[in-house]
DNA sequence: ATCCCTTTGAAGGGG
DNA sequence: CCCCTTCAAAGGGAT
């Protein structure tokens, strides 16, 4: 470890990644210290971090490791600290047993450089060289092991015992998180059919062997830590790097398997067409081809935590709600996301972090900007959503789904956050916090329409969790969170549907009360709330995005009516939707 | 055939 | 530094 900075950082350590969780990254560190929640988080993270990392550290000298975004680094360092602590606390140490069930083995690849961008080794070679660590029982691509994410999915063969659980009872085959539904995070271009539809499929070194499998339940596997990642990355680099993007050395290995993130722009068969094309056009086409060549395949952005979560959960939601419309589903997912416990979210954040890291390594030169409309051929135009000022939101009640059955809150009276109410165009009218992407004062306070009735609306079922931050005044409360996971499903499940009314209540009842959250609330306000753990506080997050949340969220409707006690008022209710009444 | 919708998070750019 | 915009997934709906 590069220096753990010692103890100093314990607390902070936890935070680092937390940033993601926190809405603004504000403060809180201090507060959090005490909170057990933090610890939990820290633990989680620690768990996430693989020991290997520590090992790596030793090797850390290599810059490669550091290469990763500063953030990550900081994160690591911090995490390490936290990790260490956690380790002490938990196992006493290393993850003797995998923190997460899914974690089959620990890889301890040799970081030394192979992967480094500079490095030019062939993956295989590297792996071979490297530290053995545990290998996957079955035939896994050598590289695969490197990535600890989860093996489950891939393992065609037999999953490790602990993994068994994930195995689909029916088939007996280890199943991917959400079976059929989930598509690889990075869909491959049509041509690449062979690829595995695994959420993190693109990580898979070779077909069938996804590197980052996601478990159904959520990512239960410990994330390998940078180490593994690096290793995996290196392998990936060598194997998948798009030539153009790849530094010379990397180009060496081309499996030919496109990285999920890489999408060939509509390219599709144009090239072939061109071939076919008449001579006349040949010139033209040639030109085109060349251009295309120039144009690099479209490399997609790495998925963020929420996107990963969506991928994983979408199928469930669809099944539960029978909805198909993505917009509606996404709303639900958004709520569920907020409902997730910190731990759960942490998993996704961690995973996302890794993805970003990997992505960076794979495509060093890539910039999100590259994907902006027009920057690459594939993309057509940007969708600009300029919703006209006020209008947009208000009306927009996009609510197709019965599950969501809540009445769209179309009318003005409906409480909305400034962004929703006024729209982007009229930001002048927004309250300060909204402008800053913070919690809407008006909305919360209840000024005008903003005020909150919404909170009341039961929609909160899920929300409770969402606002955990608010809620939990006491650290202990945090612990309660776990429920959320279980709960989640409930919340959404509305199958009965459309007419849930009575049933809804039931669900509601089932739904986890907002246990955590409500209490604390705002006072602490965002600061405090979020603060405690920093990162995870969903509420903050939501708040940050004043946008939609405030506005009606039909979804919640699914369940119901509000459980929330008025107590919560201060909180942003972002999640709350209008009650059916 | 495209874009929109919807969600959260990340990143880039402008002021 | 703050804020805004765009994109990532996804699939029905709208244009």
**pLDDT of A325:** 85
A300 CA: nearest nucleotide by C1': C8
Alpha-carbon distance of A23 to A31, in angstroms, equals: 15
**pLDDT of A349:** 92
CB A311 within 7 Å, strand C: yes
Which chain B nucleotides are covered by protein, judged by CB under 7 A? 2-13
A308-347 as b/e: b if 16+ CB within 10 A:
bbbbbbbbbbbebbbbeeeebbbbbbbbbbbbbbbbbbbb
In tens, the pLDDT along A523-570 reads 333 333 333 333 343 333 333 343 333 333 333 334 333 333 333 333
Is residue A300's pLDDT more than 50? yes
Average pLDDT of A23-35? 35
Report CA(A573)–C1'(B1) in Å, whole number. Answer: 39
**pLDDT of A322:** 82
Q: Which positions ≥6 away from A328 have C-beta within 8 Å?
A: A321, A398, A399, A400, A401, A403, A404, A554, A555
pLDDT top residue among A344 and A442: A344
3-state secondary structure of A263: strand
* Residue closest to sugar C1' of B6 by CA: A327
- Per-residue CA distances from A265 to A255, A260, A274, A568 (Å): 20, 13, 15, 48
Residues 292-321 of A with CB under 7 A from strand B: 301, 304-307, 310
| Angle CA A35–A37–A41, to nearest 5 | 130
* Residue closest to sugar C1' of B10 by CA: A304
Report CA(A435)–C1'(C1) in Å, whole number. Answer: 14
Is residue A89's pLDDT more than 50? no
CB A327 within 7 Å, strand C: yes
Give the confidence band of A308 by pLDDT, cuts at 50, 70, 90.
very high
3-state secondary structure of A212: strand
A374 CA: nearest nucleotide by C1': C6
Is residue A200's pLDDT more than 70? no
**pLDDT of A378:** 55
Q: What percent of chain A has pLDDT over 90?
A: 3
Measured in residues, chain A has a length of 581
Query: Cα A549 to the chain's mean position, in Å?
Result: 18
Which phi and psi (to 5°) does residue A5 adopt?
-75, 40
A329 CA: nearest nucleotide by C1': B6
- Mean pLDDT, chain A, whole residue set: 44
In tens, the pLDDT along A259-297 reads 556 665 443 333 333 333 333 444 455 445 445 444 456
């Amino acid at each position: 470890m590069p220096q753990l900075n010692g103890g100093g950082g314990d607390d902070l350590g936890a935070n680092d990644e937390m940033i993601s969780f926190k809405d603004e990254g504000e403060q809180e560190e201090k507060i959090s210290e005490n909170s057990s929640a933090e610890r939990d988080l820290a633990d989680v993270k620690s768990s996430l971090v693989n020991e290997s990392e520590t090992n790596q550290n030793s090797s850390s000298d290599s810059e490669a490791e550091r290469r990763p975004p500063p953030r990550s680094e900081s994160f690591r360092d911090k995490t390490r600290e936290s990790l260490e602590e956690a380790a002490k606390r938990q196992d006493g140490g290393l993850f003797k047993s995998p923190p997460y069930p899914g974690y089959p083995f620990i890889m301890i690849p040799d970081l030394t450089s192979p992967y480094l961008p500079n490095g030019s080794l062939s993956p295989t070679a590297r792996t071979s060289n490297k530290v053995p660590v545990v290998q996957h029982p079955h035939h896994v691509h050598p590289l695969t092991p490197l990535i600890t994410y989860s093996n489950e999915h891939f393992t065609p063969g037999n999953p490790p015992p602990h993994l068994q659980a994930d195995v689909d009872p029916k088939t007996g085959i280890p199943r991917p998180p959400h079976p059929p539904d989930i598509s690889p995070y990075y869909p491959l271009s049509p041509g690449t059919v062979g690829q595995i539809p695994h959420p993190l499929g693109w990580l898979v070194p070779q077909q069938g062997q996804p590197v980052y499998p996601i478990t159904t339940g959520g990512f239960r596997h410990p994330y390998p830590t940078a180490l593994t990642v690096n290793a995996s990355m290196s392998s990936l680099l060598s194997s998948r790097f798009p030539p153009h993007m790849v530094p010379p050395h990397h180009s060496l290995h081309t499996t030919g398997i496109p990285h999920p993130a890489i999408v060939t722009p509509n390219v599709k068969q144009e090239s072939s067409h061109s071939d076919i094309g008449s001579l006349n056009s040949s010139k033209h086409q040639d030109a085109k081809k060349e251009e295309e060549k120039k144009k690099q395949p479209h490399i997609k952005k790495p998925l963020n935590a929420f996107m990963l979560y969506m991928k994983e959960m979408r199928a469930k939601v669809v099944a539960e709600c029978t909805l198909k419309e993505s917009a509606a589903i996404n709303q639900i997912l958004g709520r569920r996301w907020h409902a997730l416990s910190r731990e759960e979210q942490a998993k996704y954040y961690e995973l996302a972090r890794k993805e970003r890291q990997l992505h960076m390594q794979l495509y060093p030169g890539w910039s999100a900007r590259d994907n902006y409309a027009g920057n690459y051929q594939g993309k057509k135009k940007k969708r600009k959503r300029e919703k006209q000022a006020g209008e947009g939101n208000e009306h927009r009640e996009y609510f197709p789904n019965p599950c969501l059955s809540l009445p769209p809150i179309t009318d003005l009276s409906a409480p909305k956050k400034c962004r929703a109410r006024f729209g982007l165009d009229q930001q002048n009218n927004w309250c300060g916090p909204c402008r800053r992407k913070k919690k809407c004062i008006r909305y919360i306070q209840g000024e005008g329409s903003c005020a909150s009735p919404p909170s009341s609306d039961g929609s909160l079922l899920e929300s409770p969790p969402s606002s955990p931050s608010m809620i939990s005044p006491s650290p202990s409360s945090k612990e309660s969170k776990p429920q959320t996971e279980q709960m989640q499903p409930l919340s959404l499940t509305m199958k009965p549907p459309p007419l849930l009314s009575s049933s809804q209540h039931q669900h509601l009842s089932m739904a986890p009360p907002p246990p955590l959250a409500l209490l604390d609330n705002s006072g602490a306000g965002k600061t405090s709330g979020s603060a405690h753990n920093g990162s995870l506080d969903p509420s903050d997050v939501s708040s940050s995005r004043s946008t939609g949340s405030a506005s009606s969220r039909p979804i919640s409707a699914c369940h119901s009516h509000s459980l929330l006690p008025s107590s919560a008022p201060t909180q942003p209710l972002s999640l709350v939707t209008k009650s059916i009444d």
